[in-house]
């Protein structure tokens, strides 16, 4: 079979997505950087940036950057104001919604408490309405809406499993319900007529955000482990793509056993990473009780940094180290990013955590994997925005549709 002949315009078109991705992630601030990263001629890079500019996605500044040596290159920036997407995150303490630009930038965020009725259609309806309010108040064209959920989400059908915080029935068709609620919301005159929607697990999306805009940049096998408001989540990004398994349920790291006689987990077992290293576990180890009137995570983060709770921190860090060592032996990542409470545990006892991992890893090399703190604020929201941008990063010409 012969390779189909590809014409020059086809080639230019296939480069639009990779070029936009490089500018979006800050890897191509100039046209010469883009030329090098895409390994194309200057003329091709010029045609590609010209097309992205015509689509209203980037701006090309031909004035010399000044100060630098060598031939000045055109500076590339994301269009401002350019189009936007809506991102939302559901968590045990409420709902966060944001309007986001390209470049991992949240333009505006809103936070609301969980409604009294958290049935899937009601809760997703409240999310759609909150997003619609942001869309109507913006002068930007709104191109998509994606939602991060604190529970596993199956692929490709988008059903929520074990959504314990909200008492949802197992298998609630969240992707479909969310699309329905967004389609029924008044998003104003500047949103796409049929707004593409998507839903995914929040730890997966946080990993995507860290890989593109934060502590996971350039990692080839990035493992993210996080403890947010309740429980523990994990995600793996391999060569820039999320590894989600055969049906979206990979990297359920929360149910790795780290103490067979440990605390009960909602899954029915004992001593899961979920039950041994989340905010509740730290409070239990410190024999303290959180203030029920304040969100749990910030209180746990304060506790992790309190020198008086050093013993409790060590107890939890040892269990986190056990869990990470198990994951390192299976996945052989080249970087581990910790976020949520785990970021504070790392800050409180970095050497102890690294030693725990190194001691239990079979080969010295994998045990010396860098363990670093997350950098992206509101990573779940930033990651949801990445999901909403994805169709346009794949094919930037899709922005031209109505
Ligand atoms: Zn469990």
Give the start-to-end residue ranges of the domains of the chain.
Answer: 8-78, 84-204+380-400, 217-375
Residue 245 CA to ligand 1 center (angstroms) comes to 19
For tokens 């009960």, what's the residue?
Answer: 264
Q: Are 249 and 235 in contact (CB under 8 A)?
A: no
How many angstroms separate the alpha carbon of residue 139 from the centre of ligand 1?
45
CA of 112 to the centre of ligand 1 (A): 29
User: 293 CA to middle of ligand 1, Å?
Assistant: 26
Under CATH, to which class is 84-204+380-400 assigned? alpha beta
The rounded Å distance from CA 94 to ligand 1 centre is 23
Distances (CA, A) of 397 to 17, 149, 387: 9, 29, 17
For the four alpha carbons of 225, 303, 381 and 178, in that order, the dihedral sign comes to positive
Q: How far is the CA of 233 from the centre of ligand 1 (A)?
A: 11
Other C-beta atoms within 10 Å of 21: how many? Answer: 18
Residue range 8-78 forms a domain whose CATH class is mainly alpha
Closest CA to 205 of 176, 244, 161: 244
Calculate how far, in angstroms, residue 222's C-alpha sits from the geometric centre of ligand 1.
Answer: 23
Instruction: Report the alpha-carbon distance of residue 202 to residue 199 in Å, rounded.
Output: 9
Compute the distance between CA of residue 37 and CA of residue 27 in angstroms, rounded to an integer: 8
The Cα 249–Cα 232 span in angstroms is: 14
CB neighbours of residue 58 within 10 Å: 25
Distance from the alpha carbon of residue 394 to the mean position of ligand 1, in angstroms: 36
- CA of 130 relative to ligand 1 center, distance in Å: 33
Q: Where are the beta strands (DSSP E) in 265-379?
A: 335-340, 371-373
Among residues 171, 167, 230, the alpha carbon closest in space to that of 202 is found at 230
C-alpha 177 to ligand 1 mean position (Å): 28
Distance 327 CA to ligand 1 centre (A): 16
**pLDDT at residue 91, as a whole number:** 87
Q: Do domains 84-204+380-400 and 217-375 have the same CATH topology?
A: yes
- Per-residue confidence (pLDDT) for residue 65, from 0 to 100: 58
Q: What's the pLDDT tens digit per position in 6-43?
A: 555 566 678 999 999 999 999 999 999 999 999 999 99
Angstrom CA distances, 351 to 21, 57, 227, 394, stand at 36, 44, 20, 41
pLDDT-flagged residues of the chain (< 50): 1-4
Per-residue pLDDT at 177: 96
Ligand 1 centroid vs 80 CA: distance in angstroms?
Answer: 45
Cβ proximity of 147 and 198 under 8 Å:
yes
**Residue whose structure tokens are 């929040």:** 202
How close is the Cα of 164 to the center of ligand 1, in Å? 12
Rounded Cα distance, 237 and 298, in Å = 27
Ligand 1 centroid to residue 241 C-alpha, Å: 26
Q: At what angle do helices 42-54 and 31-38 cross, to 10 degrees?
A: 110
User: For residue 268, how far is its CA from the centre of ligand 1 (angstroms)?
Assistant: 6
The structure tokens 């690294």 sit at 354
> Which pLDDT value is given to residue 69?
57
Q: Considering the domain 217-375 in this protein, what is its CATH number?
A: 3.30.420.40
Cα dist. 83→59, 92, 290 in Å?
13, 30, 42
Kindly give, in sequence order, each residue whose CB lies less than 8 Å from that of residue 106, ignoring residues fewer than 6 positions away. 87, 98, 99, 100, 378, 381, 382, 385
Per-residue confidence (pLDDT) for residue 173, from 0 to 100: 94
- 244-288 pLDDT, tens per residue? 999 988 988 999 999 999 999 988 999 999 999 999 999 999 999
What is the number of residues in the chain?
402
Q: Does the bond joining 123 to the residue before it have cis omega, within 30 degrees of 0?
A: no
The C-alpha atoms of residue 213 and residue 108 are separated, in whole angstroms, by 18
Q: Residue 266: its pLDDT value, please? A: 85
Instruction: Please tell me the predicted confidence (pLDDT) of residue 1.
Output: 41
Say how many Å lie between the CA of residue 258 and the centre of ligand 1. 10
In this prediction, residue 3 carries a pLDDT of 44
* Neighbouring residues of the ion ligand 1, judged by CB less than 5 Å: 255, 265, 267, 269, 272, 274
Q: From the CA of 257, how far away is ligand 1's center (Å)?
A: 8
Dihedral angle sign, alpha carbons of residues 283, 284, 286, 287: positive
CA distance 320 to 288: 20
384: nearest Cα among 28, 23, 78, 84: 84
How many A from CA of 383 to the centre of ligand 1? 25
CA dihedral 103, 109, 115, 118 (to 10 degrees): 0
As a whole number of angstroms, the distance between CA 19 and CA 38 comes to: 7
Ligand 1: centre distance to CA 198 (Å) = 27
Give helix then strand counts, H and E, for the chain: 14, 12
**Which pLDDT belongs to residue 8?**
55
């Amino acid at each position: 079979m012969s390779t189909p002949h590809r014409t020059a315009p086809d080639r230019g078109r296939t480069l639009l997505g990779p070029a936009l991705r490089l500018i979006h992630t800050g890897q191509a601030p100039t046209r010469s950087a883009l030329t090098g990263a895409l390994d194309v001629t200057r003329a091709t890079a010029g045609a590609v940036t010209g097309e992205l500019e015509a689509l209203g996605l980037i701006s090309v500044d031909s004035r010399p950057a000044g100060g630098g040596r060598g031939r000045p290159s055109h500076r590339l920036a994301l269009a401002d104001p350019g189009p936007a997407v809506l991102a939302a995150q559901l968590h045990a303490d409420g709902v966060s919604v944001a309007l986001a630009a390209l470049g991992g930038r949240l333009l505006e965020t809103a936070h609301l408490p969980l409604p009294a009725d958290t049935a899937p259609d009601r809760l997703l309806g409240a999310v759609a309405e909150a997003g619609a309010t942001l869309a109507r108040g913006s002068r930007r064209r709104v191109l998509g809406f994606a939602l991060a959920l604190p529970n596993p989400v199956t692929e490709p059908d988008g059903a929520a499993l074990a959504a314990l915080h909200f008492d949802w029935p197992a298998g609630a068709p969240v992707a479909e319900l969310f699309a329905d609620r967004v389609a029924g919301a008044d998003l104003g005159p500047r949103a796409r007529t049929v707004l593409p929607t998507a839903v995914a697990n929040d730890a997966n999306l946080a990993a995507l955000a860290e890989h593109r805009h934060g502590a996971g940049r350039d990692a080839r096998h990035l493992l993210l482990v996080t403890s947010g408001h309740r429980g523990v989540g994990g995600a793996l990004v391999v060569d820039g793509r999320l590894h989600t398994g055969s049906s979206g349920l990979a990297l359920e790291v929360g149910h790795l056993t780290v103490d067979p006689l440990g605390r009960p987990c909602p899954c029915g077992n004992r001593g899961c990473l979920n039950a041994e290293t989340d905010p509740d576990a730290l409070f239990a180890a410190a024999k303290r009780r959180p203030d029920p009137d304040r969100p749990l995570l910030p209180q746990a983060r304060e506790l992790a940094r309190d020198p008086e709770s050093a013993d409790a921190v060590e107890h939890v860090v040892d269990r986190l180290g056990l869990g990470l060592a198990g994951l390192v032996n299976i996945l052989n990542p080249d970087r581990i990013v910790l976020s949520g409470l785990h970021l504070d545990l790392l800050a409180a006892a970095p050497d102890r955590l690294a030693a725990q991992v190194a001691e239990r890893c079979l080969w010295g090399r994998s045990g010396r994997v860098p363990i670093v703190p997350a950098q992206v604020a509101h990573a779940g929201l930033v990651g949801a925005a990445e999901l909403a941008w994805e169709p346009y990063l794949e094919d930037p010409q899709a922005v031209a549709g109505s």
